[in-house]
Amino acid sequence: MIKSVINIILILFCCTNFLSAQDELSRQLNFADNLFEEGLYFDAITEYKRLLFFDENKKYDFDINYKIAVCYKKGAKFDESIKYFSLAALSAQNEEDKFEINLQIVRLNILRKTTGRSLQLLNDLETKSNYSQKKEINYWRGWTYMFDDKWDSAAVYFNMVDYDHELKNIANRVENDKYSVTFAKVISYILPGSGQFYTGNYLSGIMSLGWTAIWGYLTADAFIDERVFDGFAIGDLLFLRFYRGNIQNAEKFAVQENIKISNKALRYLQNNYKGIKP
C-alpha cells in the first residue's frame, strides 16, 4: 500500500516537472506582456527574445515576432519593426494573419512616409483580397494619400469605404481650403505682388510691386534714352531679379500656407481622430 502511494507521488512529480516547462514559458510571456503594457518596450523585447530562444517547439513564434515588431514600432524603429513583422509572416498559420501582417507593414510605410512603397504593397494585397478586405485596403490607401499630401485622392478612396466617412469629409475640406499654387504664380506673372496678396502676405506683395515698378521704369527710361548698356544692366540685374523673386515668393507662400492647412488636419488626425490610425 505504502509502496503504491510512493509510486503515485513519484509519477505525479515527474508529470509536474514536465508540465512546468510549458508553465515557465507562459509565465515568461505574461512577464513580457506586462513590460509591454507598462511601456517598457526595450525590456519587453529582451523578454520576448528570451521566450523565443527557449521556445523549442516554436509554439509562440508568430505571436512573439508580432509583439517584438509592435515594440519596435512604438520606439519608431521602423526598419526593425518591418523585419520582425516579416518574420511573423513566415510563421503565420492562416491567410487572415498574413493579411494582418501585410497591413501592419503598410502602416509602417505610411508612418515613415515611404508612401510609394505603401501603395505598391496595397496594390499587391488587392489582387489576393476578398470584398471586406478591399474596404480595409482602400482605407489605408486613403491614409497613404493623406500622408502624401494628396487630399483629393484620399477623399476618393475614403468615399469607397463609406459615402459619408469622416476622413472623406476632412480630406475634402482640406482640399477646398488649400491655395492654388498655379493660380498664385500666374497672377504674379501678370501683376507682380498679386500672388503674395492672394495668400495674405500683403507687405511682401506691396514691396514686390514697388521694386519691380521702380526697376521696370528705370529700365524703360534707359532704353528710351538710348543708354542700351545701362538698360540691359538694370533690366537683367535688377528688374528681372525682382520680377523672378516675386514669382518665386508667390509660389513659396502658397506652398507654405498649404502645408500649414495640411498640418492642421494631420494634427487633428493624430490627436483627436478616434478611428484606426497608422
Partner 1 sequence: MIRLIIIILIITAVSVNAQTDWQRWSAEEISYELKQTEKSTSNFYGSGFISSSVSALKNTYKFLISDLDGDNCPFHPSCSNFFQQSVYETNIFQGALMFADRFTRDLNIFKKGKYPQYKSGKYYDPVNNYKLSANEIIIIPSNQIVNQ
Partner 2 sequence: MLNSNFIKSILIVFLSAFAFTNGQTNDIFSPQNRLKFGNSLFYQKDYLRAIGEFKSYLNSENNDTVKFKMAFALSQMGRHIEAEDNFKGLFFTPDLSEEAKLEYFKSNFFRNDSKMFLQLINNSPFIPEKYERNINQLKQISMLTEENSIPDTNEIKNLFSEIEKIELMKFYFRKVNPEMKSPETAAWLSAIIPGLGKIYAGEIGDGITSFLFTGVLSFLAYDNFKADHKFRAWLFTGLAAWFYGGNIYGSAAAAQNYNAGVKYGFDNDLKIYLNSKNYYLPEYEFLNK
- Distance of closest approach, residue 195 Cβ to partner 1, in angstroms: 12
Instruction: Say how far apart CA 83 and CA 105 lie, in whole Å.
Output: 9
For residue 17, give the amino acid letter: N
C-alpha cell recorded at residue 264:
492642421
Stretch binding partner 2 (CB under 8 A), from 24-32, 57-65, 108-116, 212-220: 24-32
Instruction: Say how far apart CA 246 and CA 252 lie, in whole Å.
Output: 10
Q: Which is nearer to partner 1, 41 or 99 (CB)?
A: 41
With vertex at residue 105, the alpha carbon angle to CA 33 and CA 272, rounded to the nearest 5 degrees, is 75
Contact with partner 2 (CB under 8 A): which of 26, 34, 38, 54?
Answer: 54
User: Would you count residue 259 as binding partner 1 (CB under 8 A)?
Assistant: yes
User: Would you count residue 74 as binding partner 1 (CB under 8 A)?
Assistant: yes
* String of DSSP letters for 145-212: HHHTT-HHHHHHHHHHH-TT-HHHHHHHHHHHHS--HHHHHHHHHHSTTHHHHHTT-HHHHHHHHHHH
Q: Are 212 and 247 in contact (CB under 8 A)?
A: no
- Distance of closest approach, residue 118 Cβ to partner 2, in angstroms: 29
Residues that bind partner 2 (CB under 8 A): 7, 10-11, 13-14, 16-18, 20-21, 24-25, 28, 46, 49-50, 53-54
Residues that bind partner 1 (CB under 8 A): 39, 41-42, 45, 74-77, 79-80, 83-84, 86-87, 90, 111-112, 147, 149, 204, 207-208, 211, 241-242, 244-249, 252, 255-256, 259, 262-263, 266-267, 269-270
